[in-house]
Structure 1
Amino acid sequence: MKIQSKFPHLFTKGLLFLFVTALFISCDDALEGKINPHIDMQEEIIINPEGGREVIDLRSSYPWFAEASDSWIQLTRYRGQMQLPDSIVTLIAENPEMEPREGWIEVRLMDQMSTRIIVRQEGRGSLITLPKSVVYFNINGGEAVLPVLTDLEWDTDIEEKDGFTFEAAGKNSLKVKVARNTTGAEREIVVTLKAKDSDRQAKLTVIQSNQEKMMNITLAPEEKDVLFTRDAKSVEIPVILNTEYELEVSGQDWITVTSVPQFGGGDIAEEITIKASVSNNTTGVERTGYIRIKDKSSDISDIYYISQMPGTRRIYVKPGAVGDGTSWENAYGDIQAAASACGNHSNIDIWVAEGEYQLKNSLVLNAVNVYGGFIGTENKLKDRDQSRKSTIKGGDFFLMRSETEGPGDIYYYFDGFVLTGTVTQSNSEWGGVLRIRKRLFSNNIVHGNSFYRAACGYYDNCKIINCLFYGNTTTETSGGIYFLGKTSVYNSSIVNNEIRDQWNSAYVIRVADNIKMYNTVVWGNKCANPKNPQFHVADATACTLYNCVLVNITSQSNYSPIVNNCITNLANDNTGPLFVAPTDGDYRLQSTSPLINKGDNAIIETIGVNKDIIGGMRISDNTVDVGAYEYQVK
């Protein structure tokens, strides 16, 4: 009889039991870890009184959402995903008080848990602050005592130099003495107030005129050129003067002077404060104005500039950047990411630095202004060099779609770009390489696109200003460019584009629904069928041309454009317009071009355009030129 041992079976069963038990414990631990909510982040941040941008790293087990306790803590990134390295981005406002302040940022994981980061900001007592950064004296000199806001002990780096004397009169006063100016020229000195036990400091500039009369806004240059968001503001402008004055205000429809103190008379300089109010910006575009204070009897003056944004935020884009778009230093590197971040919020502008941006698919823009051509340091639109452009390159897809309409008379801007590189034969969607609705499309160049229909673009109820369309090829059907829905075209150049369709229905420009073209040149465009015309006009009132220059005005339909003061027999080679170098894409005007001084000034003044496509004076001589480029008279 064969006897089998039961030990192997019992051993096997024991191992199986241990394995199953371990598996349950492991699964239970994994389950417990999976549902256990947690947030890994710092407990507090300490900010200096000046405030600024702060990035707070975190990692959480669930999607998170953050909110702040006070308005001085503005969150620009306040939600994120689970189990990924992430961050909160906040802008801390300047603390105007001497004492420190405290707030918090609360982070919530859905309904699972929440925790707070304490935000502590130092008060102005930890700084050395002067109420003025600049003081002025006339030729006679004098003495002034300035308050110093600080809780610190301090010294000056200069006690006496070249007739300027500086003396600490206690912890909270600085005495400045200036001797008579005998140099015959204006002179200037900078003194630094330095803390004895820290690196805190403040600088004061003292300027002494070589004249008896004085009229100066007592602010540093950067403080005399301010930027506001769209909300209404009050402005106070400190002035020192010793003569009668008057004011000149630009932008009088939105800048209102509310207080004009009278000069008391005599030779003693007085300090006055001019007050003004700035209305809410509802125009949809950044605007710039100024208040100039000037002597009534001489050319002595000073000026205070005001720029006002149309919204409350900007998103910045720069080639190669990897940031979150909150500043030039932290810009997005991808214009499509910036457009997605904006969503459909009309209080955000996108600013794009010059350079090249390759699209991966069609760019979709909603209710935002988009400006290109920045160096990448500007903080006001007026500081941009308009000759610079940002290049957006397409591919085998529609290059751009922008069909969100602004309310009322608001047109969202797209300005300062080169749009190129789209090559596709797709005919799956109506519209051209660009499909733009109710947008102010200005200072752009559209070239080098090959598209099934409308390779120059499809524009519905748009305003097109200072634009150049050249070297685009429409490969099959219909026209090279479409203007519909009351679109108006101002000082643009539609030149050297090609339509390859052999059918009789092909044409260069299709117009419908009361289109108006002003000061625009249409030249050198070719249809594969040489009998085909420049225009397809939908009805008797579909298109009116004012002060335009064209090869001809024949129409493919039974209707022709209505012509007012146009040149309609321009030679179809460069002996006609006399561009500088059209084969090289240079459509500036030669000095003998027939386009010079042939435009209408009134329409340019009506739309408020004072520069051409590259920032030259829009009226360089007595009369505006035709086309996107103005010949600049030396």
Structure 2
Amino acid sequence: MFKKFIYSTLVIICLIITQQVYSNSTKSVNTIEGGAIIYVDLNASGNNDGTDWVNAFTSVQNAVNAAASGDEIHIAEGTYLEGAEILITLPMTLKGGYPTGGGVQNIDSYSTILSGNYLNRVIFSSHSTGTLNIEGLTITKGRLNNGGTLFGGGVYSNGNIKFSHVNINDNTLADNSTIGNKFAYGAGIYGQSEVVILNSVIDNNRLGIDSDSGYARTKGGGVYSAISLIIINSTITNNLSNATSFSNNAASIAEGGGVYCDNTVIIANSLLKSNKARTAHTCNGVTDCNFTTTHPETRGGGAVGFITSNNSIITGNIIESSSETGSITALDGGGLYGILSLNNSIVWGNTNLVDGFESPDEYFGSLTSSYSLIKGENPAGSGNIDATNPGFDPLFVDETSGNFRLQAASTLKDSGNNSLLPLDDYDIDYDGNTTEPLPIDFDGGQRVFDTTVDIGPFEFQSYLGIAKNATVSGSEVTFDYYIENFSTSSLSNISLTDSLDDIFGMGNYTIITPPFQVANGGTITLNPGYDGSADTNMFTAMSSTFNGLATAQFRMTVDITHVVDQGFGLGNYLSQIEIQAEDMGKSSVIYQTVEQTPIQTEITFLQKPVKMIQPYLAMTLI
């Protein structure tokens, strides 16, 4: 009855609860059956033979040397400086995120870092069978310099490799020796075979080479794969593929600022954001250049390949070129370049930049698009969003700050196609079911909330409802506040704010009955100092929690000492309710409503992720 009353007479405001990309990082992934476990801990003081945590190796390389095919290496927290690249020859699993001295894996709490210290590549694996699994590690500060041909600054893998809950950042391939042909592929990851990336971040990896006699060619600032690349629930951001050529008819080619694959790329529930492919050609005077052969080529700021994008967003990527002489041969695909298939996806705000002049450049190549959004376009195909109308706004929460979650009124909400969701082949939610459609969104919430999937990686989640009713008797108004938790998670730090000054004006009312509980679905503590004016928070937020699937009701009565608008005796009771909550261990994204009248029920959201305001919704005269 309580739900029916709320749904039939009141409007529900929604709160999105978000979490970081490491949404399942506190879970320990199942170990490989039959594989031995070898332990590594920087602070181990035992025999250092890897047999347990007390006797753990203190070097990752020593553990790898002791491992057989299929073994697992558990690595405790800390920063490991091996002094040389870690050499692997067999398929095995490296798992970080364990506390010093051993214990339960928790990647968020126990950071395990493998660092090249800007002196060497971090991992080199020559295995040719099976899969190398890397989980719960940060791989950083790998660097290769001046080798002519440079592959994999962070990780080089000859065979199949899978990354899970991994952060690969600040790895570099650089060659500024200028002489001869130069090639640099995959600053973060280089894979000769299949590369799988799950729940991971590939960030701020850089390719940069120069040449004055021959090619300067870069591919895949973040990731390069020769065979296939699968990216699920991951972020590829701020990576760079840069090639510069100087005189003597040299050519510069940069492709795939974020990722490059010679074959198939599958992207699901992921963000490719703010990557760049950049070329430049400069000459020391006209006599050093041949105008007909010094043509830079730049392709795919976000990604290059045979790309299928499912419920992902490609945004803010750039291809950039400049030339003092000659002309630019190719400048194609600020976001994507190749054979492209978009399903339930967003391509938005990608550009090309030539000599400082920026132009829209979402993609280049053969396109098949279904139930997707491309900025400024209305592509052929089923269910695509028409974004050609001037002023079209998809209503992201805050595009300027990079928050591409959806507002409640977004046209992308419930506009996807469930049948286009890929299968959960890699069991991204760890429930053992790999035949179900992808079950979670980028934030770890339900992938399909209500009945139809949203377009993009973020599903709009209705976690918290708020409604208000006013009953008028003479000069007294009784306000009832109804809140409901639609999720199974307990919510914390609940605050409910209502300004009586906004309704009646300062000094025009007296609180006869302060707020009290009619029904409490948790341990929500009322604020005894609430006065509707100087103190407008009805709850003591820090001590309040709200149980999953619970409801609560609160009431107060106010005597009106001055009525602003007599009307039918009701007065002008427009009010704004502000409510905020956090899921346990997660951050909240909350919205604001504006321009409401006492009888208007349609909600309009602004792009402001700090609070949620709802107007007065219903009134009963007795």
Name the TM tier (shorter chain): 0.3 to 0.5
**Larger relative CO (CA 8 A, sep 6+): 1 or 2?**
2
TM-score using structure 2 length: 0.42
Larger Rg: 1
TM-score using structure 1 length: 0.41
- Higher helix fraction: Structure 1 or Structure 2? 1
